[in-house]
Amino acid sequence: MPAPTDHFSLALYYQRVGDFDNALAQYRTLLEQNDSSPEVHNNLGLLYQDQGEIDDAIKQFQRAIVIDPRYAKAHNNLGVALLGAGRLDAAAAEFREALAAEPRNVESLVNLALVQKSSGRAAEARDLLQRAIAIDPRNAGSHYNLAVVADEGGDTATAVAHYRAFLKFGSGTHDELAAQVRSRLATLGSG
């Protein structure tokens, strides 16, 4: 007797290699078998988001949250989708829900900081990013975003320190951004 097909692993595989149609087919099979998996709805939301189908992505993240109201990943992903749609207040609310479930969620702290920055609240953004760095001192994204907030606020010393930390922890994974950061450091006279 053959082993049962692992539709979840197949869906993840197809999603990773960019095969939208086959990934979608696997997720649909999973939902036909069991519509109450928050992980399946969350991952399907990410699949839709990758395809630019934001409304469908939002619906899937919301469905995951209905099933598991404390599912931080779904709240964070919903926040990212809402942020991309320009719905800053709704995005911030989702990031706060993710943080209520997982207070040390660095990704949600950084995302909430981006909302605060976009809303003109640089001090709040800076505080959130400093919290994220305190939790994970090697998180390149936290350092980069704190550097940008400091740079835009005229705090060159802080900007330089965090641009350098970004280069230390983000090299190899953020090559294009690293080139921009090196250029900015040169402009600041600290290359």
Mean pLDDT of 137-145: 96
Q: Is the pLDDT of residue 15 over 70?
A: yes
Q: How far apart are CA 18 and CA 6, in angstroms?
A: 18
More confidently predicted of 64 and 16: 64
Q: How far apart are CA 62 and CA 45, in angstroms?
A: 9
Q: Is the pLDDT of residue 1 over 70?
A: no
Domains, the chain, in order of start with CATH, read: 1-103 (1.25.40.10), 122-191 (1.25.40.10)
Predicted confidence at residue 62, as pLDDT, reads 98
Give the pLDDT confidence of 113-135 residue by residue, as tens digits: 999 999 999 999 999 999 999 99
And the tokens for 10?
């197949």
Mean pLDDT of 23-44: 93
